[in-house]
Amino acid sequence: MTDLDYAWQFIKRLVKNNELYAAKCSTGWEGEYVAKPGSSSGVICCYTYDYTDKNDVKRAADVIRGVYYYPTNMFYKTDNVTYAGRYRHLGDKFVSTYKHTLDNKMYERDPVIRYQWNLVNV
pTM given for the model: 0.85
DSSP symbol at 82 = H
Q: pLDDT tens digit string along 88-104?
A: 888 999 999 999 999 99
Cβ contacts of 104-111, under 8 Å, gap ≥ 24 = 104/61, 104/62, 104/65, 106/54, 106/57, 106/58, 106/61, 108/54
What torsion do the CA atoms of 33, 100, 47, 60 make, to the nearest 10 degrees?
Answer: 150
Alpha-carbon distance 49 to 18, whole Å?
Answer: 12
pLDDT at 105: 98
In angstroms, the Cα distances linking 48 to 17, 60, 88 are 14, 7, 21
Q: pLDDT tens digit string along 13-63?
A: 999 999 999 999 986 656 555 555 555 567 899 999 999 999 999 999 999
